[in-house]
């Protein structure tokens, strides 16, 4: 169990993200439950025997191992699973607060049908049969009028039951799934795939030298990176961090540079320039494994550290020193490429630059370098989606250079819905994706929803998107469901699942049940593909591998090794066209894209305005957890960060309310005057300023970043660009 020993002390881990309340937040849920019971909103809890249930967290993307302590039929506490190697046997504040999801008085309890205008919040309680009949009827009506492509399907990930939602979309016959990647990592994946043929995982634990550009790992938690980042191997670790903000990652770094926003590629290209010019690259690796290095040399000639200093405002001498240190530490050196979303519209080219920089020092597939993911093979639940002759291609086909047919590209997709071209989309099925909080330019997303004939949202709380829906269906929470297995790739791959810790409360149902019931109503052809139970799905997944099921039941996680395997791909063909690392991308050249990353300076900030920065927070997951009573207690609202000197110049004081205005919207929130940000930027955390009055804890608090961010996106991957917006601020 070598990696289990790599965990931090609990105090240090929680301290890292300032989650000092993490263990104190649980424990009072029984009171909440009893209060609900008293109000008649909930039946008496199921009295079962005491139980400790292995399951996996559903609070964010990490899917960490959890043990639910169930006492008298109530989940009293969630503990980390000591066997869960991916999270180094840790559980964060959000994971702890999962109990608050189940016993949240605001959770959806039964199906609802809208009675007032959209967004007015008037719903009536409906039975499942009536609600499901209505959903199927409306889906069929839209299909009849506009073809099946007229219904779009927006899905979250990580519930493990999202696969059934995607199956419904495909079997219904709509090509228009829209998932989160273009609000997330599609540019990152694109840039690395174009270079290495896959998107690897940085071996943070074993790297001696790490450079992070805006990936705020101490607050935007990713396991195991957030934990490993602090640990290092033998204390040799050096962490260089670039961010216009002094984040908690900056606090943990050896050196922090308040880089000018949007100029990271200048820094990267200048590092390449130094490494190439001074001959510090790995000649053997480049010669044997890469194509296009000869074209890189003249390409970076003008990208000198002195040039970069003028762009990114990091001293040339420091760039030169960091480049040398980085090359010296190779191959146990990584320029950390993710995870963080796209900030600028040329983000794919930034990721390409980072990939190339990693490649030339030869850190590919070695200890402490960039390691291609391993994955444990499990059986696949398969189906045969019916074929419909009249269904066109995706609505957003051709909108970006590389479109994922399963994920789409959110911003151009929405633009085309609004334009009604090339065809109308008038039905919207949503599975736990909070479109209004997540997609930039909320006003346009509202317009898109306005023009829909029908909207159905499946969720566990009344998200903003649910609030604007016609039918709202309550899903059982992740602690109440049996979910299928999920194989999570990585340096140390694992298989996880979820078991129900308690019986689903109220009238909530697992998504598999909801999908089957809708399918049943859509006709025989669709219904035929939904003739399975969750148990059958799991049996298919573990077919021939009974040890997986046994491990999940007895230790909550399945894995085959606890020490990484390096070098699996060395000497073998990579999944690129040339089979090698593509420094120069022939396929980009053929598409008319820059085959080597070309720097584009960010737009100059207009006088009197600031660049709006947004970010994740250790207490919250995107737009989904700010209403959690335990988490909200730690941080009740977001604020607008403004540099101290700038605030003084403008006569603005800490704590006053300010209105932030961009070209697409305005929000009012509290000002936080701080030295932790450059004077040319302002910052706000994501997940506040909600529209839904069904989120009673957070409603009316803070401002919504999605209401301010414009619709700029990366034309190669389709990733929304989150830092291309300028705002002005004034006293509210």
Partner 1 sequence: MKLISKTIAILAVAAFLATPVLGAEGGNPKKGKYLYKKNCKTCHVAGAEGGALTPLSKTQSQWDRFFKKNKHKAKPEIWGKYSEKDLKDINQFLFDHAADSDQPETCG
Write out the residues near partner 1 by the rule CB under 8 A.
61, 144-147, 149-150, 157-158, 175, 179-181, 184-186, 188-190, 193, 197-199, 382, 384-387, 390-393, 397-398, 402, 404-407, 422-424, 575-577, 579, 587, 717
SS3 615: strand
Reported as type and span, the H/E element at residue 519 is helix 511-521
Q: Assign 3-state DSSP to the chain and report helix, strand, coil percentages, each to 5.
A: 35, 20, 50
User: At closest approach, how far in Å is the CB of 102 from partner 1?
Assistant: 23
Is the CB of 507 or the CB of 586 nearer to partner 1? 586
| Shortest separation between residue 403's beta carbon and partner 1, angstroms | 8
Triad 176, 433, 37: Cα angle to 5°: 140
Q: Residue 404 Cβ, how far from partner 1 at the closest point, in Å?
A: 5
Q: Reduce the DSSP state of residue 668 to 3 states and report it.
A: strand
Which of 390/675 has CB closer to partner 1? 390
Contact 639, 684 (CB under 8 A): yes
What number of other Cβ atoms are within 10 A of residue 38's Cβ?
A: 9
The Cα 387–Cα 170 span in angstroms is 9
**Residue 441 C-beta: closest distance to partner 1, Å:** 22
DSSP 430: E
CB of 397 to partner 1, least distance (A): 6
Q: Which is nearer to partner 1, 178 or 501 (CB)?
A: 178
> What gap in Å lies between CA 254 and CA 273, rounded to an integer?
24
Output the smallest distance, CB 42 to partner 1, in A. Answer: 32
What is the smallest separation between the CB atom of 451 and partner 1, expressed in angstroms? 15
Shorter beta-carbon distance to partner 1: residue 158 or 615:
158
Q: Is the peptide bond before 371 cis (omega within 30 degrees of 0)?
A: no
Taking the least distance from each CB to partner 1, the nearer of 165 and 599 is 165
Closer residue to partner 1, CB minimum distance, 150 or 702: 150
Q: Are strands 209-213 and 238-242 parallel, antiparallel or unpaired?
A: parallel
Q: How far is the CB of 271 from partner 1 (least distance, A)?
A: 26
Indicate the residue among 100 and 181 with the shorter CB distance to partner 1.
Answer: 181
Dihedral of alpha carbons 389, 392, 393, 394, sign: negative
Q: Looking at residue 575, what DSSP letter applies? A: S
Strand 201-202 relative to strand 726-731, pairing:
unpaired
User: Nearer Cβ to partner 1, position 577 or 609?
Assistant: 577
Least gap, CB of 220 to partner 1 (angstroms) = 14
- Closest approach of Cβ 537 to partner 1, in Å? 16
DSSP for 96-131?
HTTHHHHT-TTB--S-EEE-SSTTS--EEE--HHHH
Longest dimension (CA), the chain: 74
Residue length, the chain? 732
Where helices occur in 182-289 by DSSP H, the ranges are 186-196, 225-231, 248-252, 264-277, 283-289
Closer CB to partner 1, 180 or 686, in the complex? 180
Instruction: Tell which residue, 499, 492, 200, 484, has the closest CA to residue 363.
Output: 200
Cα–Cα distance for residue pair 558/467, rounded to 1 Å: 39
What is the closest distance, in whole angstroms, from the C-beta atom of residue 392 to partner 1 in the complex? 5
The C-alpha atoms of residue 56 and residue 460 are separated, in whole angstroms, by 17
Closest distance between partner 1 and the C-beta of residue 187, in Å?
10
Distance of closest approach, residue 342 Cβ to partner 1, in angstroms: 12
Nearer to partner 1, 47 or 572 (CB): 572
User: In the bound complex, what is the minimum distance in angstroms from residue 2's beta carbon to partner 1?
Assistant: 28
For partner 1, give the closer residue by CB, 120 or 405. 405
The smaller minimum CB distance to partner 1, of residues 194 and 312, is found at 194
CA–CA distance, 683 with 250 (Å, rounded to integer): 15
Give pairs for 518-522: CB < 8 Å, separation 24+. 518/132, 518/135, 518/136, 518/139, 518/168, 519/168, 519/171, 521/132, 521/133, 521/135, 521/136, 521/137, 522/136, 522/139, 522/140, 522/171, 522/172
Q: Whole-number minimum distance, CB 89 to partner 1, in Å?
A: 23
Q: Which is nearer to partner 1, 422 or 606 (CB)?
A: 422
Q: CB-wise, 246 or 584, nearer to partner 1?
A: 584
CA–CA separation, 643 and 244 (whole Å): 11
Report d(CA 573, CA 335) in Å as an integer.
Answer: 24
From the number of C-beta atoms within 10 Å of its C-beta (0-12, 13-18, 19+), residue 5 rates as exposed
- Measured in degrees and rounded to the nearest 5, phi and psi for residue 396 equal -95, 15
Residue among 156 and 667 whose Cβ is closer to partner 1: 156
Q: Give a three-class secondary structure readout of 487-502.
A: EECECCCEEEEECCCC
């Amino acid at each position: 169990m070598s990696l289990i020993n790599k965990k931090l002390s609990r105090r240090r881990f929680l301290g890292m993200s300032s989650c000092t309340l993490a263990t104190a937040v649980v424990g009072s849920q029984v009171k909440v439950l009893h209060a609900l019971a008293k109000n008649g909103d909930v039946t008496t809890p199921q009295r079962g025997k005491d139980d400790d249930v292995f399951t996996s967290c559903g609070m964010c993307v990490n899917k960490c191992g959890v043990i639910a302590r169930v006492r008298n039929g109530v989940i009293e506490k969630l503990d980390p699973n000591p066997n869960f190697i991916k999270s180094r046997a840790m559980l964060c504040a959000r994971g702890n607060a999962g109990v608050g999801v189940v016993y949240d008085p605001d959770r959806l309890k039964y199906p609802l049908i809208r009675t007032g205008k959209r967004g007015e919040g008037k719903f009536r309680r409906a039975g499942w049969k009536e609600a499901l009949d209505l959903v199927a009827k409306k889906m069929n009506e839209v299909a009849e009028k506009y073809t099946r492509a007229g219904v779009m399907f927006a899905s979250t990930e990580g519930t493990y039951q999202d696969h059934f939602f995607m199956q419904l979309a495909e079997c219904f016959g709509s090509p228009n799934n829209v998932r989160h990647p273009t609000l997330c990592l599609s540019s990152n994946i694109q840039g690395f795939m174009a270079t290495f043929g896959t998107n690897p995982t940085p071996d943070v634990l074993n790297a001696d030298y790490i450079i992070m550009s805006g990936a705020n790992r101490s607050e935007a938690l990713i396991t195991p990176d957030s934990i490993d980042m602090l640990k290092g191997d033998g204390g040799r670790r050096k962490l260089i961090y670039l961010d216009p903000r002094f984040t908690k990652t900056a606090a943990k770094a050896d050196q922090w540079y308040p880089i000018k926003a949007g100029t990271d590629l200048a820094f990267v290209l200048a590092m390449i320039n130094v490494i190439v010019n001074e001959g510090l690259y790995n000649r053997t690796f480049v010669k044997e494994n890469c194509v296009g290095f000869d074209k890189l040399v003249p390409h970076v000639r003008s990208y000198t550290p002195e040039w970069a200093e003028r762009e990114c405002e990091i001293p040339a001498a420091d760039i030169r020193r960091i480049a040398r240190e980085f090359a010296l530490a190779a191959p146990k050196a990584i320029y950390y490429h993710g995870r963080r979303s796209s900030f600028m519209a040329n983000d794919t080219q930034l990721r390409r630059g980072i990939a190339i920089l990693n490649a030339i020092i030869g850190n590919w597939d070695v200890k402490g370098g960039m390691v291609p993911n391993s994955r444990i093979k499990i059986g696949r639940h398969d189906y045969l989606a019916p074929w419909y002759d009249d269904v066109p291609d995706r609505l957003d086909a051709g909108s970006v250079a590389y479109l994922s047919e399963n994920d789409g590209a959110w911003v151009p997709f929405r633009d085309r819905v609004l334009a009604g071209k090339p065809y109308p989309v008038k039905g919207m099925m949503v599975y736990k994706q909070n479109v209004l909080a997540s997609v930039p330019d909320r006003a346009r997303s509202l317009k898109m929803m306005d023009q829909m004939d029908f909207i159905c949202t499946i969720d566990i709380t009344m998200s903003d998107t649910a609030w604007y829906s016609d039918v709202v269906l309550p899903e059982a929470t992740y602690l109440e469901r049996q979910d299928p297995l999920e194989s999570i790739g990585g340096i140390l791959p694992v298989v996880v699942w979820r078991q129900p810790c308690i019986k689903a409360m109220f009238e909530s149902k697992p998504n598999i049940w909801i999908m089957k019931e809708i399918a049943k109503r859509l006709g025989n052809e669709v219904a035929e593909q939904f003739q399975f139970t969750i148990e059958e799905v799991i049996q298919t997944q573990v077919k021939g591998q009974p040890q997986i099921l046994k491990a999940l039941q007895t230790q909550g996680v399945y894995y085959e090794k606890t020490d990484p395997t390096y070098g699996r791909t060395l000497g073998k063909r990579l999944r690129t066209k040339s089979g090698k690392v593509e420094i120069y991308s022939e396929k980009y050249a053929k598409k008319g894209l820059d085959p080597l990353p070309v720097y584009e300076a960010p737009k100059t900030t207009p006088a009197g305005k600031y660049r709006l920065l947004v970010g994740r927070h250790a207490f919250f997951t995107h737009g989904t957890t700010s209403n959690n009573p335990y988490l909200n207690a730690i941080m009740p609202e977001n604020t607008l960060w403004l540099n101290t000197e700038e605030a003084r110049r403008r006569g603005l004081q800490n704590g006053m309310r300010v209105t932030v205005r961009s070209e697409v919207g305005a929000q009012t929130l509290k000002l936080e005057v701080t030295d932790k940000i450059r004077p040319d930027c302002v910052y706000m955390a994501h997940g506040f300023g909600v529209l839904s009055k069904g989120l009673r804890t957070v409603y009316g608090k803070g401002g919504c970043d999605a209401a301010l961010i414009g619709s700029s996106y990366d034309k190669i991957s389709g990733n929304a660009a989150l830092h291309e917006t300028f705002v002005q601020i004034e006293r509210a």
